[in-house]
């Protein structure tokens, strides 16, 4: 089974990214043949960016992924812009992508509303580049959080349309969303997902947060005027989110968490969630501190990954170009 997933090089990955995606990447390393993970710097330029910061962020994200458990010898970990087949395939796939489909994408609507100066054509084409990322490797499975469901459905549609028009060439990938933790919510605004852009500072727990910062954010997490630690009922989004987080980080089911905290106050419950998150993230933060200074080693890992990725993607591109009548043939 070929696994593919991409992650943006926003230097500060948050708990939602970790639980929804990075945790699945590490598990996928055992099942993937191969498991391919891409740091998508070309996606990062669809909204305003600083060139120097972007390079730094790629290193930060690489170090976080390795610190979390990705082993560049057991998976293919690379930077998107190092494999030019992604951009070429994006253009080729744009020929079989409906403008109307791109117009319906929730992420485009949300992100374009937030742009003050320029809504770039790149932001509109973001899902086509994402389709190219996955389809270039003929991946069977795409592990992502719930927010990416619509984009994966679109890439399936693009693969189908390509195959109908040019013959069986591309693979329609399956979406893999975790049963628990597919949509971690902002601690201050529990009806909104925890997010890199548009999230609240106190409601977003970062993978690299120190224990004191995590405790403070959990202490001020929004709950409700009730007192019961349970996830169903009017206005329980905040508590439900904390139950879900605790369930993932402790690897226990949500019912037993509700039973354990029956009769306990919200203060004690939040304290337990904070402690569990600190314990969950600390090994990654500590390992990150060791890995991050050696940029040479990070670049070497990315370069080796890009070489392996290029070998696979170039084969697909040759088939796609041939099928479409592009180039010499």
Question: Where do contacts with ligand AQP occur on this chain (CB under 6 A)?
Answer: 7-8, 10, 16-17, 19-21, 144-145, 147-148, 182-184, 193-197
Torsions phi, psi for 193 (to 5 deg): -75, 150
We find the least distance from the C-beta atom of residue 82 to ligand AQP, in angstroms, to be 17
With vertex at residue 17, the alpha carbon angle to CA 14 and CA 147, rounded to the nearest 5 degrees, is 125
We find the least distance from the C-beta atom of residue 321 to ligand AQP, in angstroms, to be 28
| For ligand AQP, the closer CB: 309 or 320 | 309
We find the least distance from the C-beta atom of residue 177 to ligand AQP, in angstroms, to be 8
Tell me how far apart the alpha carbons of residues 25 and 21 are, in angstroms, rounded to a whole number.
6
We find the least distance from the C-beta atom of residue 165 to ligand AQP, in angstroms, to be 29
| For ligand AQP, the closer CB: 72 or 145 | 145
| For ligand AQP, the closer CB: 28 or 145 | 145
We find the least distance from the C-beta atom of residue 263 to ligand AQP, in angstroms, to be 30
We find the least distance from the C-beta atom of residue 313 to ligand AQP, in angstroms, to be 19
Q: Nearest residue by C-beta to ligand AQP? A: 20
Tell me how far apart the alpha carbons of residues 206 and 246 are, in angstroms, rounded to a whole number.
16
We find the least distance from the C-beta atom of residue 178 to ligand AQP, in angstroms, to be 8
Of the CA atoms within 13 Å of residue 168, those in its CB half-sphere come to: 0
Burial status of residue 293 (CB atoms within 10 A of its CB: 0-12, 13-18, 19 or more): exposed
Signed CA dihedral, 201, 202, 205, 208: sign only: positive
| For ligand AQP, the closer CB: 38 or 291 | 38
We find the least distance from the C-beta atom of residue 112 to ligand AQP, in angstroms, to be 13
| For ligand AQP, the closer CB: 21 or 222 | 21
Reading the block at residue 243, the tokens are: 């139950």
Tell me how far apart the alpha carbons of residues 2 and 139 are, in angstroms, rounded to a whole number.
5
| For ligand AQP, the closer CB: 75 or 182 | 182
Rounded to the nearest 5 percent, the helix, strand and coil shares of the chain are 55, 5, 35
| For ligand AQP, the closer CB: 148 or 317 | 148
Secondary structure of residue 35 in the 3-state scheme: strand
With vertex at residue 67, the alpha carbon angle to CA 176 and CA 249, rounded to the nearest 5 degrees, is 55
Tell me how far apart the alpha carbons of residues 244 and 246 are, in angstroms, rounded to a whole number.
5
Tell me how far apart the alpha carbons of residues 135 and 285 are, in angstroms, rounded to a whole number.
33
Q: Which of 184, 179, 128 is nearest to 13 (CA)?
A: 184
| For ligand AQP, the closer CB: 176 or 321 | 176
Widest Cα–Cα separation across the chain? 73
């Amino acid at each position: 089974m070929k696994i593919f997933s991409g992650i943006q090089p926003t230097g500060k990955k948050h708990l939602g990214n970790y639980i929804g995606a990075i945790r699945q990447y590490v598990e996928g390393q055992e099942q993937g043949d191969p498991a391919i993970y891409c740091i998508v710097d070309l996606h990062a330029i669809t909204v305003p960016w600083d060139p120097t910061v972007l390079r730094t962020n790629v290193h930060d994200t690489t170090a976080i992924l390795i610190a979390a458990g990705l082993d560049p010898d057991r998976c293919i970990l690379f930077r998107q812009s190092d494999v030019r087949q992604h951009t070429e395939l994006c253009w080729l796939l744009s020929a079989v992508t409906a403008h109307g489909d791109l117009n319906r994408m929730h992420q485009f609507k949300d992100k374009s509303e937030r742009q003050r100066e320029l809504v770039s054509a790149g932001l509109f084409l973001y899902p086509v580049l994402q389709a190219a990322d996955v389809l270039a490797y003929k991946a069977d499975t795409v592990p992502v959080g719930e927010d990416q469901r619509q984009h994966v459905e679109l890439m399936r549609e693009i693969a189908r349309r390509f195959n109908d028009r040019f013959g069986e060439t591309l693979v329609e990938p399956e979406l893999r969303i975790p049963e628990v933790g597919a949509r971690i919510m902002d601690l201050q605004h529990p009806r909104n997902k925890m997010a890199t852009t548009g999230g609240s500072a106190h409601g977003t727990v970062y993978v690299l947060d120190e224990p004191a910062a995590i405790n403070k954010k959990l202490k001020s997490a929004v709950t409700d005027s009730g007192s019961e630690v349970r996830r169903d009922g009017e206005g329980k989004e905040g508590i439900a989110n904390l139950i879900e987080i605790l369930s993932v980080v402790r690897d226990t089911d949500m019912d037993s968490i509700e039973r354990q905290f029956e009769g306990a106050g919200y203060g004690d419950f939040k304290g337990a969630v904070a402690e569990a998150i600190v314990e969950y993230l600390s090994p990654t933060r500590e390992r990150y501190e060791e890995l991050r200074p050696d940029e040479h080693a990070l670049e070497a890992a990315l370069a080796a990954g890009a070489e392996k990725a290029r070998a696979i993607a170039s084969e697909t591109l040759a088939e796609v170009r041939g099928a479409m009548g592009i180039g010499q043939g």
